[in-house]
A and B are shown apart, each in its own frame.
Chain A
Amino acid sequence: DAMVIQNPRYQVTQFGKPVTLSCSQTLNHNVMYWYQQKSSQAPKLLFHYYDKDFNNEADTPDNFQSRRPNTSFCFLDIRSPGLGDAAMYLCATSREGLASETQYFGPGTRLLVL
C-alpha cells in the first residue's frame, strides 16, 4: 500500500544534542510537509517542499532545518533541541499542494527532550 512512513515512532534526545527525524513516501507526491503538534493544539506547519523548492514558514525557528534529497525522502533536523521542542512531529504529503487535495499524514514521531 502507498503510504507515508516516519521513523522512529519515538525519539529521545538530550537537551542541545542534534536529532534527525525521517520521513519517506511511496505516493510519489510532489509536496512534503513537516508539522509540529503539541498536546491538544493545532498542527503547526514548520516548512514544506514543492519538489526541491523549500518553503520556510516565517515563524519557524532557525533551530529547525530540513532536507529533501529526493522525491521519496524528507528529513527534519533539530540542531539544538530545547525542552520546548518536545512534541509530535508529523510528516505529510500532497500531490500538487492544491487547495482541494487531501494531505496524507505519516504516523508521527514523538520527540522527548531530556
Chain B
Amino acid sequence: GQNIDQPTEMTATEGAIVQINCTYQTSGFNGLFWYQQHAGEAPTFLSYNVLDGLEEKGRFSSFLSRSKGYSYLLLKELQMKDSASYLCAVYNSNYQLIWGAGTKLIIKP
C-alpha cells in the first residue's frame, strides 16, 4: 500500500519555530509537495522538493531525505495567520499524487 504519515495536530506559540514531519511509503518517488489549507478553504502551494536537502522560502523551509522517506516543513517566526492545516503530498512512480491527511497547526498568542 501507499501511505503518508503526518501528526494530526500540533500547537505552537506565536513568534516561535515549529517543525511538521512527514514520512511516506510510496511506489517510487517523483517529488514531494507541501500545501497550506486554512479551514474551509482550498489548499495553496507552499513548497516542492525532488532532491535531498533543504529548500528555503522566506519564513518557510522544507527538507527532504529520499533514503529515509522523510520530509519536514519548518515554519519560523510564527504568526497567528499560520494557523492552518499543512498537507504533505508525494508523486509516486505512476505519477499519482498521494496526499497525507494533514497536520492541523494551532498557534497560541
Report which A residues bind B (CB closer than 8 A). Answer: 40-45, 88, 90, 92, 97-100, 102-108, 110
* Contacting pair B44 A103 (CB below 8 A): no
Interface residues of chain B: helix, strand, loop or mixed (majority): loop
* Contacting pair A99 B40 (CB below 8 A): no
Q: Roughly how many angstroms separate A31 CA and B95 CA in the complex, as a whole number?
A: 13
Q: How large is the interface on B (under 10, 10 to 19, 20 to 34, 35 or more residues)?
A: 20 to 34
Interface-central residue, A43, A88, A106, by most chain B CB under 10 Å: A43
Residue of B with least CB distance to A43: B99
Residues in B neighbouring A102, C-beta threshold 8 A: 33, 45, 48
* Contacting pair B31 A40 (CB below 8 A): no
Residue of B with least CB distance to A98: B95
Interface residues of chain A: helix, strand, loop or mixed (majority): loop
Q: Roughly how many angstroms separate A23 CA and B43 CA in the complex, as a whole number?
A: 16
Select which of B42, B96, B99 is within 8 A of A108 by beta carbon.
B42
* Contacting pair A90 B95 (CB below 8 A): no
Residues in B neighbouring A92, C-beta threshold 8 A: 42
Select which of A41, A100, A107, A110 is within 8 A of B101 by beta carbon.
A41
Closest CB-CB distance, A84 to chain B, in whole Å?
18
